[in-house]
Structure 1
């Protein structure tokens, strides 16, 4: 009976270790929440002061405080580290808010981020200034970019679309009202198409009109055709579609002038036209011509596109 119990205990221990190893590589969120988070939090709590001293992130205490410590408590006067104001666990790591003492600045903490990463045994440490005198240590317990999974709370709203994860585990959101126009650049295989697909997926859930311009015969945008309000697949169609957008822009400006407002969002909801988001795949294709006779049409298209870029934000075209 004793041998059987010993065998069962050993088998259970091996199965548990194997399960943890599997979770660490195949389900890192589960491993972090059950094992990594408690260990890291404990390591941070017990070694915080000594780690800050070794990393040079301490300052000498004020004269009065040093006097009181030396003469009343009879203790050694030690350098003062940043004060921990809040520790917030997340599904990807830890968020720690620090109050910096006089003499330290956020750049000092950022310079030591790599040393803090090794000291606390985490995947990465990013430093962000939240307000004057405060910084946030954004620790990630595993490589969040290996298998990207947006949190369930990241949902599109208004004209804000969550599209990716940053290295520190925070969600990158595309806010069209804050940044109405943008040009996405990158090398081959850098993720431009994935970024665009995530944009379309988020925008498709919102009450907006989607306009696609893809002069590569629609190889990228054709898959979105059921949701698109209009799609141009060659330079001639693109020119006509951009002319139509400029005409729509003029009509919307007439609407703003009629009601005495300067922004489409100042209109009552029942009068406000739906926002339009124009997605252009390979904008350089609009500039190419194969013969001199096509230059006039190309120049007109570019001019109309520039007009949209200059003025369309006020009337809800992005």
Structure 2
């Protein structure tokens, strides 16, 4: 009986701790990492750093001076030299440390051994980021941050910058229109494409930016944000009337830039510009972001007359994509399917869209159309997205880099409320006034009386 009591006294707390750790690891991986994973992985890294680097082939022969110094002071064996390790900095999602590469090494050598380092130190993933020649950042992620998305507390801010998703290395994916002016976003039904679009619109709604929408699904995607939109077209006929107005607005802005370039002898060099961002702030027109949802609807035709209209709209979209950046007009093209079979101009339009976001798609051809020309290896990653992971996407850019991201949940009601409260930020563009969507007036709720009236006795 005494042995049983002693066993319960010792084994009970141990079993409770083990069960609590298993539950936290399954349900709350961030809590598990902070309490258990972080100390264990730090101890593994400190205790096995040199041996792991040697096993991964990331060591080099020591210099002759180092060999002579070791032999003169000690009788220890002279071992190969690993990259010099900096201070370990713990984070809420993993570890970060800076490495100074040994002579003859490059960041690609460490990146090629990332999977080995992951298993050796017991973490979810290892990512390598070059800092400067000879120096890299090693980011260790302790758990799958895309399973339950929580955006970092500190997010980049600025005009036309929108933190829209979380990368798999636990950093924020920021859609920066000044750097990547035009983008293509693809995704099948229930893939999370609409959630991505909501984050973009709500992020831009808080900024002094004109938002224009073309939603050929009768406006069901963009109509909830009508309070913040400067223009909205809900069918191909309205889109055919709206696009020439945007072209004319772009040409007027180019005329403004050219007038500024009428260089006078006393004009300072810093005032000579080739886009609107070089203009004085009081002369600079507001940026315009055009959202096109279901772009395939603009390409589909049923009659000869529709074909002529289609060709005109596609040509206007290509002109906006080619020339809009300098005029402060940016495109965000979205759709379920995008391929060369849509018709003339599809591939030419795609070539102008630098940013690529591919959610789960129904066919490999769409993934190839989105990512195949910039990051062919990302096509397989996009095709492997499961239906049970809405919001998961693969992003790529013209540099050839790609990564997986996932957007956090944002309800349609919250997004619509954000657009309603920021409606006063919608700039006044007279050319777009005929296309301004009608916003239903919200009923004003009268406050309840503090004191309930009592009936008087007759």
The TM-score with structure 2 as length reference comes to 0.64
Say if 2:152 and 2:171, in contact at 8 Å, map to a contact too.
no
Partner residue, 1:49: 50
Partner residue, 1:257: 258
Say if 1:264 and 1:315, in contact at 8 Å, map to a contact too.
yes
CA distance in 2, matches of 1:197, 1:239: 24
Partner residue, 1:273: 285
Partner residue, 1:313: 325
CA distance in 2, matches of 1:56, 1:205: 50
Say if 1:126 and 1:139, in contact at 8 Å, map to a contact too.
yes
Q: Structure 1 residue 223: deviation in Å?
A: 2.6
Partner residue, 1:37: 38
* 1:202–1:59 CA distance, 2 compared to 1 (3 A): same
Partner residue, 1:202: 203
Say if 1:86 and 1:98, in contact at 8 Å, map to a contact too.
no
- Spell out, residue by residue over 1:225-246, the C-alpha distance to the aligned partner (whole angstroms, 9 max, x if none): 2222211111111111111111
Q: Structure 1 residue 79: deviation in Å?
A: 0.6
Is there any run of 5+ residues in structure 2 with no aligned partner, and where? 262-272, 331-458
CA distance in 2, matches of 1:159, 1:225: 20
Q: Secondary structure at 1:183's aligned position in 2?
A: strand
- Spell out, residue by residue over 1:49-103, the C-alpha distance to the aligned partner (whole angstroms, 9 max, x if none): 1111122211110122112212332221001001112422221111121111013
CA distance in 1, matches of 2:109, 2:188: 33
Q: Structure 1 residue 106: deviation in Å?
A: 1.7
Say if 2:212 and 2:290, in contact at 8 Å, map to a contact too.
yes
Partner residue, 2:242: 241
Say if 1:156 and 1:206, in contact at 8 Å, map to a contact too.
no
- Spell out, residue by residue over 1:143-192, the C-alpha distance to the aligned partner (whole angstroms, 9 max, x if none): 00101111121254211111111111111111100111122235555443
Partner residue, 1:295: 307
Say if 2:212 and 2:231, in contact at 8 Å, map to a contact too.
yes
Q: Secondary structure at 1:229's aligned position in 2?
A: strand
Is there any run of 5+ residues in structure 1 with no aligned partner, and where? none
Q: Structure 1 residue 194: deviation in Å?
A: 2.6
Say if 1:163 and 1:172, in contact at 8 Å, map to a contact too.
yes
Q: Secondary structure at 1:130's aligned position in 2?
A: strand
Tell me: higher relative CO, structure 1 or 2? Use CA pairs within 8 A at least 6 residues apart.
Answer: 2
Q: Structure 1 residue 9: deviation in Å?
A: 7.8
Stretch of structure 1 that moved more, 181-190 or 80-89: 181-190
Partner residue, 1:224: 225
Q: Structure 1 residue 17: deviation in Å?
A: 4.2
Count of residue pairs brought into register by the alignment: 317
- Spell out, residue by residue over 1:214-269, the C-alpha distance to the aligned partner (whole angstroms, 9 max, x if none): 11222322232222221111111111111111111122222223333322111222
Q: Secondary structure at 1:30's aligned position in 2?
A: helix
Q: Structure 1 residue 197: deviation in Å?
A: 2.0
CA distance in 2, matches of 1:156, 1:26: 32
Say if 2:165 and 2:173, in contact at 8 Å, map to a contact too.
yes
Q: Structure 1 residue 270: deviation in Å?
A: 2.3
Partner residue, 2:86: 85
* 1:205–1:156 CA distance, 2 compared to 1 (3 A): farther
CA distance in 1, matches of 2:223, 2:157: 23
CA distance in 1, matches of 2:96, 2:76: 32
* 1:101–1:220 CA distance, 2 compared to 1 (3 A): same
1:153-232 paired onto structure 2 within 5 Å = 153-154=154-155, 156-186=157-187, 190-232=191-233
1:93-132 paired onto structure 2 within 5 Å = 93-132=94-133
Cα RMSD, aligned residues only: 2.3
Say if 2:216 and 2:235, in contact at 8 Å, map to a contact too.
yes
Q: Secondary structure at 1:58's aligned position in 2?
A: coil
Partner residue, 2:146: 145
Partner residue, 1:284: 296
